[in-house]
Structure 1
Amino acid sequence: MANRDRPVHSRGSRVSLHRDGTMELTDFDGSTVWSTNTTGTMVNKAELLDTGNLVLRDQDDKILWQSFDFPTDTLLPSQLLTKNKKLISSMGNTTYTSGYFSLLFDNDNVLRLLYDGPEISSLYWPNPDKTVFQNGRTNYNSSRTAVLDEMGIFSSSDRTKLVATDMGLGIKRRLTLDYDGNLRLYSLRESSNGSWVISSQAPQQQCKVHGLCGRNGICHYTPEPKCSCPAGYNVSDPSNWNKGCKPLFNPTCCDQTQASGFVALPHTDFYGYDLDYIQSSTFESCKSLCLNNCSCEAFVYRLTGEATCYLKSDLFNGYHAPSFLGTAYLKLPRSFVTVETMDIPKGSDLICGFSKAEAKRRRTEWIYLYSFVSAIGVVEVLLFALGWWCLFRRHRMPPSMEDGYRTISSRFRKFTYAELKKATNTFKEELGRGGSGAVYKGTLDDNRVVAVKKLGDIIQGEEEFWAEVSTFARVNHINLVRMWGFCSEKTHRLLIYQYVENGSLDKHLFINAGNNKRGASFMNWARRFKIALGTAKGLAYLHHECLEWVIHCDVKPENILLDSDFEPKISDFGLAKLSQRGGPGSKFSRVRGTKGYMGPEWALNLPITAKIDVYSYGVVLLEIVKGNRLSDFVVMDGQEEVAKLKNFLAAVKTKIEHEEDSWVEDMVDPALKGQFNWNQAMTMVKIGISCVDEDRSKRPTMDAVVQALLECDDDPNIYTSNMFYDAE
């Protein structure tokens, strides 16, 4: 679709092929809704091929543009899905606007299904509880390509494979990511009145699709997949289950032991958003932990092998299936806890708070229903177990092997000070020190290498600190440093992060100081662009996508860490809320920030918005291009002023205004000796200039920055300028 998010009117709209080579879709009022990027080319004709591909050709029949490069929610045979393409579902069965589900190649070269809704983002296929190799995939490849062939086999470079049940030539097929989040392979059966029939799908269990029933909603089988609300909740919008269920009570933290109880939901789980998980836990201790924790909305208790307790901070991705051998216990006000145990209803929702007589009648109904469902469940479990037994026997795997229950944040937990003291060898190896505290390297009991930050001047109490860090623990993005846990014990406040091997960006970017030439090859252009793009993606996630809107307030090279592949990971996000502002010896401003990277609104006492991070990113971006500090300041006329940045901006604007062809080369780090991508460098400098505009309303959003950088991400050409360097 050319215009899925802005439909044109049925009358008066038109598609035109102009003499300048552009194909254009206009609405009834003449406004352009969509056009191809072929202006100024020698387009001679438009042609719809038998493959379904719409192409624009020149006089020599060379394809200049093709619709196969811009998929919507469907792939046709021979249409490639590659690195920068993805399928995006529709919002509904008859609503064609962009939905919340995507099929795309992740950064580890693995093809995945992602739910990216208004409140959460969550990967759900392949099975997130398993490793890449346990799922039969591989990430040991440098290509990202998938295709549906004429035989009815969809395969990709990571070993994904879907095979049509009617595999063979001569059948028309399509691969579609449907509005319910399932990826289905369809075959056109002429023998069945020309209808499309599902010939394969992934995942096999529809209720394993994340986000399907929204917040607090539960997916179950009747036998078809259906969404319901649990006790104490009511559907927010019956026409849109993405909005989930709303509570019929006002959550409170006052005297929860007396005010709260639990309703049991057998064979029900809520995937992700674990406050903590405790192995070898008794039921009563698990219940007590949730009851006394203000942030706990429910807990899931499993008895498969070793008893395990999972405390839930939010209720997303709920599903009910007899094969799940655990029970979810929802924490509700006692006025709503009218029955000891409830199962998932057959209807679309469940309203609680009824009389005891009504509760008894409903309990009887559920006993009959549950008996019927249990009988089906037993058969299902036996067949499932038999299939796995045969599979394990065939591959000689141990019969006791279990998937295990692991979520994105399952390992996030509270540490004791003694544990961290032992892990860091009494805080022996210091990795760095900043205004919010010192960071030490440590190794946990499970051999994870971590970075432990000791915070200073923290004013929050136990409960407030817990609330803050539990929020940051739910933030998850490849370009953000992962938080593994925290310690809040007496006066000690510590945060435990993943250890990032290559340290901070400043140690690599400014390595050429003092005529040290090592950095010329170490920080080549490809790495610089990768760092710029990844950092922008991380900030865009914080500003636009994550559960809690987060402003970093201290974006600088020291807070951008680089892993072994030089993938950037932003650190210290959220510390603006945890650090004491303006304390003794603080290097931060009235709120937070580092001189040279702070936007002018700090000094003007304007409200702080996400545009403060955009300004800081702009300074960092220009430093990545230039290779030296532009944030250094000097004292002029008794006042502090960022001189280098102003001089740099003045020089760039002068060269651009005078249309000097060499302005890009003049702005790039001389240590690269002309080895850089000219188009990318020009784009980065222009973005940087717009980001540091003193008028914050003129600065772009981080989403817009990401899109601008992605547009030149595919340009592989490294241009060599010998204007200043002789060949060596």
Structure 2
Amino acid sequence: MNLSFLLLLLLLFIRDITAADISPGSTLSASNLNQTWNSPDNSFAFGFIRDGSTYFAAITYGGIPVWKAGGQNQGGGAADSTATLQFLSNGDLRLVNGSSNSLVWQSNTTGRGVTAASLDDSGNLLLKNGSITVWSSFENPTDTLLPTQNFTVDKKLVSGSYSFGLLNSGNLTLTWNSTIVYWNFQLNTSAPLNLSSPTLSLQPIGTLSLSDSRLSSPLILAYSSDFGEGTDILRFLRMDSDGNLRIYSSSKGSQQSLSKWAAISDQCQVFGYCGNLGVCSYNDSGPICNCPSRNFEPIDPNDSLKGCRRKIEIEDCPGNATMLDLPNTKFLTYPPELPAQVFFVGISACRLNCLVSSSCIASTSLADGSGLCYVKVPAFVSAYQSAALPSTSYVKVCGPVDPNLPTGSSASSQTKSWKLKPWLVFVIVLCTILGFVVFEGSLWWWCCRNSPKFGSLAAQYALLEYASGAPVQFSYKELQRSTKGFKEKLGEGGFGAVYKGILANRTVVAVKQLEGIEQGEKQFRMEVATISSTHHLNLVRLIGFCSEGRHRLLVYEFMKNGSLDSFLFASNEGQQEEEKVLNWEARFGVILGTARGITYLHEECRDCIVHCDIKPENILLDDNYNAKVSDFGLAKLINPKDHRYRTLKSVRGTRGYLPPEWLANLPITSKSDVYSFGMVLLEIVSGRRNFDVSDETNRKKFSIWAFEEFEKGNISGILDKRLDGNVADMDQVYRAIKISFLCIQEQPAYRPSMGKVVQMLEGITEIERPPIPRTGEVNISGTNSSVIIDSLSPVSTIAAASAPVSYTSFQAEAGVNSSFQSRKDTERTSSSLLKPYSS
């Protein structure tokens, strides 16, 4: 008895020691980076880290800093190699530079009875008086918010000139230099306008939620793209030094973090990203910063983010000032603007008013139909340039204007040549002009001699060969002529008809008339520019657009062989089926091409694009039967409201391909596309609709019947009867069927990513065995309806799914029709704008 009691006391003593209490008098030194104070499970460590020649006392997770001592102070807590972190006997925690004995940071807990410090398993550094916490790192955040850490209105995440805060209204804001609010995320209008004490927190599964005593349940404001996945992933919210707020994920032991959500998808919209007078634009690798012209020079040639300055200041050239024109450029402006800085004038007046005003240094004419002109006074100026922007801006400089020249050219050498041999320069210029005129005239005559009315269209479309990937803008009359008055209809999509057209250079295109567009001119152009920059071998290419009055049209490359469904399913019009059947080699090529196209949208674009309507009608085939995915990326044009919160009555998409989370009112992620792809994959193998019911399938839905046959090993029974099993590669068939059942799992977390699907199709990655299907019925929490769906699902559900759902048949009692026999019954997502032609 006594021995057991002693053992119990010993265990309790060991447990207290394991809690990693740090005694007063303990010290850490920057000269020994391996010396740290660790959390009990060793996930977090507190010690010194090095960044070049600078040292920081920081809490790290696998080497990734999540809190820095003095991170919110001027200088960000930077110290030198002689620095020490001292836990003094008076209870104060101090960071001191040893070389100068200067104080970098302190906790200011002297005389508050602090007797111990500890770092817990959640990454929180605590200074304690017995069991009472006197100070903690969670209550004094720097630039990072960890799971279980509460963020209230009195706190800020700070990184350099940028800060993130929470308002009493519940709005989230990003601010530059404590003056310019360049991002203000407002709550859904159904939420109370005045909250009592809003609290923001990041959940371990990757959701950013807001709670308040006046809210019946927390509001989810953002989802990381991998939310709910994995069990050993730390997710954290960080205010980055580039002015963007991001959610990162870091797998245990990986020592690296990946961005899974960003508050601002367009980095150039971050105020001051390129510094004062810097111009932000994009190249193939991402955002870049330049000076407006050669009248300016970088403040730091080694760091383009620090901005630019005039080579000659305006005050030094009185009477010689002029305006530098910057097409497709705007100076970032955020409310509230002073009345004296906003005018309703035309583009010429916007330029001239700034030129004659001594208090104006730059101006922007929006040219979006609003008639607004913004005037900039001497202060910090941040610019954004893009081919999709209709705005034109002007900057006051000392003349003459010296625009940026192509690499290798020299203004000084050109001037010298003109002075030395003016007659030679004149002859060269004259010959060049005459040659250009002759060439253009010959080209126009050759292309348009039989169709003179297409002259303007040919001139405009010629830009496509020289532009840097920007979509070509057509007039409505030009597209009306190219389609012969919209005569030859290729198909009727969910949001408009598609017509065949022939441009002046004999290029055959598909022209889609859009219906139900709610965005204005500016937003429409921005979205079109974003989609046109998405290029991949297995994606349908957007050539151009028309935005004229109420007319909104999109112009796509023409796919000669139409959509995949015409090759898979028997026609209702009595066409000869043999002529439309794809052999197995072609089918497997379509499977791989489709998977690669979707993978590009999910994992290789600058921003993840969720398709939301994967089906055979949206997979088009070119002349060589290569698959190209259409119908992606323009969902925001149809419904600009936040579509993460869906109800049963607002579900869009095509029945038979909808993942369970759509009908269960759960968030839509890239895993929703994986489910739809799994259904399409099964249809490509079988040549039958996944929702077909027949005597052969014992009156069961085909996907359920196919799984039962797969369990029996009857692969040939699932394969399309029109294919010869001796010709088809049965190893590929078996692999494809197995992958399809992995993709259509009930819970998104159990579906593979599209990148992994491609690897499994190519035989690079081993394919797991699909779990046994489960059936049943459970009500969905948070809705007024009982949803009943059939799906292949594992026995257990993940914790990320807040509402348990079970499924028996693909129908919903809340107004979802259970008939799936007619293709005309399908409902399409708002992103179907990008579908060039499908029925």
Mark the structure with the bigger radius of gyration.
2
Mark yes or no: TM-score above 0.5: no
**Structure 1 length normalisation: TM-score?**
0.45
